[in-house]
Amino acid sequence: MLIYYFGKFIAALRWSLFRIFFSKSGLLNYVYPSVEFVGFKKINIGFGNVIRRYCLFHSDVFKSGSLISIGNGNVFSNGATLKAYGNELIVGNQVFLGERVQIQAFGRVVVSDKVMIAANTFISSSNHDLQDPLSERYLQEENPGDVYIGESVWIGANSIITAGVSIGDKSVIGAGSVVTKNIPPFSIALGNPAVVIKYYDKVNKKWCRANGI
User: Is 58 a known active-site residue?
Assistant: no
Write the pLDDT tens digit of every residue in 145-170: 899 999 999 999 999 999 999 999 99
pLDDT for res 25:
35
**Cα–Cα distance between 67 and 190 in angstroms, integer?**
31
Q: What is the pLDDT of residues 45-69, one digit of tens each?
A: 999 999 999 999 999 988 889 999 9
Q: 24, 128, 181, 209: which one is catalytic?
A: 128
Bigger pLDDT: 203 vs 23: 203
Judged by average pLDDT, the poorest of 15-24, 25-34, 53-62, 108-117 is: 15-24
Strands 172-173 and 96-97: unpaired
Query: Cβ(59)–Cβ(39) under 8 Å?
Result: yes
Residue 60 carries which side chain, given as an amino acid letter? D
> pTM above the 0.85 mark?
no
Right CATH for 2-127+142-209 from 2.160.10.10, 3.40.50.360, 1.25.40.10, 3.80.10.10:
2.160.10.10
Contact between 51 and 26 (Cβ < 8 Å) = no
- For 122-150, the pLDDT digits (tens) are 999 877 666 666 666 655 666 788 999 99
